[in-house]
Amino acid sequence: MTDWTQVVDAHGVVGRVPLLLDQVEGEEGPGAWEELWDRLCLHGETVSAASFTALPRLAALAPTCARALELASAIVRGALRHPDGKALLAGCPNEVARLRELVDQRFRTRPADYHRLFGDLLALAGQYHWSASMGDFADDFYTVSSPGCEAEVTIAVGDYGCYSAIRDWDRGDTERRTLRPAPAEELRGPGRWMHATADRDGQQRLTEGIRYVFGRAECPACASLQHCGSAHDREPSSSP
């Protein structure tokens, strides 16, 4: 049994979360869900010790309650930003495996929020880096450092094109080089199952985008090649 008197939520409060869980288990209205989100996954991303302690109860609700599945998945995503997140998640491997199964089942229904769910699936599979950094490939821009000359290289994947370039404040993306997507049959590890999953579900843009982020980019300045997704500090940046 969890000693809830010892577990604080995102607002530093103890005792409120177990009451709210009682309420949602008894289907006592949307108000309780709203407060649960606020206490367990503040602003959709900040988790605390109480979030991990609540995970088994949310996972138990998840097969019949989409809201529980959504909150539980968001907590797992939030683990990325919590200093003890990975260790706390390691304490509930069965729940994480079950949640992953449920998200994968939801894919078969072709949900409108497929892309967000794909990010959830990546987190549930332990692929935190990809869960946090993968955009929707509509117009994603990343900045990486050239391995050859350390020039700042902008990588674009989306409707503006799929290229590496040197971004100029006045002239936009200059010296564009076409990206080299990885052939699907050469994908390995996480790239392989990510691609297979998106392909299975008919998510064409995602399937293509995965080949690009696992493909290679040429530095316009020195022609050295690097894997587009190799920069672990890469952050989506804004449009030119």
Contact segment (CB under 5 A) with Zn ion among 16-24, 33-41, 77-85, 147-155 equals 147-155
Q: Which is nearer to Zn ion, 87 or 222 (CB)?
A: 222
Contact between 19 and Zn ion by CB under 5 A: the answer reads no
Q: Which of 53, 73, 131, 146 binds Zn ion (CB under 5 A)?
A: 146
Nearer to Zn ion, 120 or 218 (CB): 218
CA pair distance 135, 142, nearest whole angstrom: 10
Q: Would you count residue 230 as binding Zn ion (CB under 5 A)?
A: no
Compare residues 13 and 149 and give the one whose CB is closer to Zn ion: 149
Binding of residue 231 to Zn ion (CB under 5 A): no
13 makes contact with Zn ion (CB under 5 A): no
Q: Interface with Zn ion includes 152 (CB under 5 A)?
A: no
Q: Residue 173: which residues within 8 A CB-CB, separation 6 or more?
A: 154, 156, 163, 165, 166, 167, 240
Residues 66, 90, 97, 149: which binds Zn ion (CB under 5 A)? 149
* Contact residue for Zn ion among 79, 155, 217, 219 (CB under 5 A): 219
Under the binding rule (CB under 5 A), the answer on residue 97 touching Zn ion is no
φ, ψ for residue 154, nearest 5 deg: -90, 130
Q: In the set 91, 222, 230, 239, which binds Zn ion (CB under 5 A)?
A: 222
- Nearer Cβ to Zn ion (9/218): 218
Give the angle 208-155-144 at the CA atoms, nearest 5°. Answer: 125
The DSSP call for residue 82 is S
Q: How far apart are CA 163 and CA 179, in angstroms?
A: 5
Handedness of CA 126, 129, 133, 136 (dihedral sign): negative
* Of the candidates 85, 99, 86, the residue with the CA atom closest to the CA atom of residue 57: 99
User: Nearest distance from residue 147's CB to Zn ion, in Å?
Assistant: 7
The three-class DSSP label of residue 28 is coil
Q: In the set 56, 148, 236, 240, which binds Zn ion (CB under 5 A)?
A: 148
Q: With contacts defined by CB under 5 A, how many residues of the chain interact with Zn ion?
A: 7
From the list 221, 225, 231, 237, which residue makes contact with Zn ion (rule: CB under 5 A)?
A: 221
Give first-to-last CA distance, the chain, whole Å.
53
Q: Residue 142: CB partners within 8 Å, gap ≥ 6?
A: 133, 154, 155, 157, 228, 231, 234, 235, 236, 237
Interface with Zn ion by CB under 5 A: which range of 52-60, 92-100, 189-197, 211-219? 211-219
With contact defined as beta carbons under 8 Å apart, do 207 and 120 qualify? no
User: Residue 221 Cβ, how far from Zn ion at the closest point, in Å?
Assistant: 4
Interface with Zn ion by CB under 5 A: which residues?
146, 148-149, 151, 219, 221-222
